[in-house]
Amino acid sequence: MASHGIEGDEAVAASSAKVTGFRPRIVAFCCHYCAYTAADLAGAARLEYSPSVEIVRVPCTGKADVIHILEAFAAGADGVFVAGCLDGDCHFINGNLRAKPRVALAKKLIAEAGLEPERLEMFQLSAAEGDRFRQIADEMTRRIEKLGPSPAAKGRAKRTDTGASK
């Protein structure tokens, strides 16, 4: 799992909580070969990105099925993103191409369930793009902060600024 700078985590979490009073939980399904490596690179470079993002490493975005996305929301995520390789770079040839319609379908399903489809997104990046991963993590965090807590996550344990459950 990508490491975050501890000091950076605390600063981002503190400013986020101060502004909105809400620290979202965002699950990121990251393919091992590109997005996860980019996240790891961001950590190694000590780039500060949102501590709201919880990375789930998958071998390929082709392994992130609709049910996994829906389960993440059901388990309390306020937002979810799937991040994989650029077109033509998938190590399993076309896993990322298969993931796109799945994410689109999951968007429709969460909308039918009463959630904003913007809570879910797919991104593509190369393994060398640590800074882009940081931007994605921060962009999704800002987006979810604006939307507020997921209606599907009501009743979950409340998190403190440090991420600990109450």
Select 50 or 96, whichever has its Cβ closest to ligand FES: 96
Going from the C-alpha of 127 to that of each of 26, 31, 90, 100, 135, the distances in angstroms are 21, 10, 11, 19, 14
**Closest separation between CB of residue 66 and ligand FES, Å?**
16
Select 21 or 88, whichever has its Cβ closest to ligand FES: 88
CB 46 within 8 A of CB 85: no
**Closest separation between CB of residue 119 and ligand FES, Å?**
21
Binding site for ligand FES (CB under 6 A): 31, 33-34, 60-62, 84-85, 90-92, 95-96
**Closest separation between CB of residue 38 and ligand FES, Å?**
11
SS3 at position 88: coil
CB 37 within 8 A of CB 2: no
Select 27 or 34, whichever has its Cβ closest to ligand FES: 34
